[in-house]
Amino acid sequence: MLLAGLLLLAAACPAPGGPSLRDPWWPGNLVDYRGHRLPAGSLRGRVVLLVMFTTDNPVVTPLLVGIDNLGRRLYGRGLRVVGLAFDEQEELLEPFCRGLDLSFPVGLAGGELRRQVGVLPQLRLYDREGKLAKVVLGMVEMDGLKHLLERLL
């Protein structure tokens, strides 16, 4: 529970002068399930795709695999993918992510964030200035997502 609280705090804290001042979901300073901190500065000047999900949703596995493939292909052009899981049992997250061999960091949303989100899965796409460019609720076609990403890259 303490870890979940720390992740909530880390995910919700705005970086001074950073894009999170514009959008409360900005993933700056996220701590992933392995305890690695994603420095806010590592996202600056990048297109960021925030993927919000729960591990128990059956449509999430193919979605995450598709997004991971896109993220690997577009990383060199400036795309950064960050995941945020909304599970209540933090011990489920690590085996789930390791089983999918995800290349992007995934943090765990704490209680307050869980109460604020509506539809999952949810994708939030930020431009290079950290401004929210698009929100996608539910499933998305990978070709359509790739087109959206390429317009911002």
How does pLDDT run across 28-61, given as a tens digit for each residue?
678 888 888 888 788 889 999 999 999 999 999 9
β-pairing, 106-108 vs 132-137, is unpaired
Amino acid at 28: G
**From CA 144, how far away is CA 153, in angstroms rounded?**
15
User: What range defines the domain where residue 142 resides?
Assistant: 2-152
Residue 53 neighbours by CB under 8 Å, 6+ apart = 60, 63, 64, 83, 84, 85, 86, 120, 121, 122
Instruction: Find out whether 130 and 26 touch, Cβ atoms under 8 Å.
Output: yes
Question: What is the tens place of the pLDDT at every residue in 77-112?
Answer: 999 999 999 988 888 899 999 999 999 999 988 766
Closest by CA to 10, choosing from 32, 94, 95, 1, is 32
- Which helix (H) or strand (E) segment holds residue 61: the answer is helix 60-74
Question: What is the tens place of the pLDDT at every residue in 116-131?
Answer: 778 899 999 999 998 9
Instruction: Count the domains in the chain.
Output: 1
74 CB neighbour count, 10 Å cutoff: 18
DSSP state of 37: B
Give the CATH number of the domain where residue 115 resides: 3.40.30.10
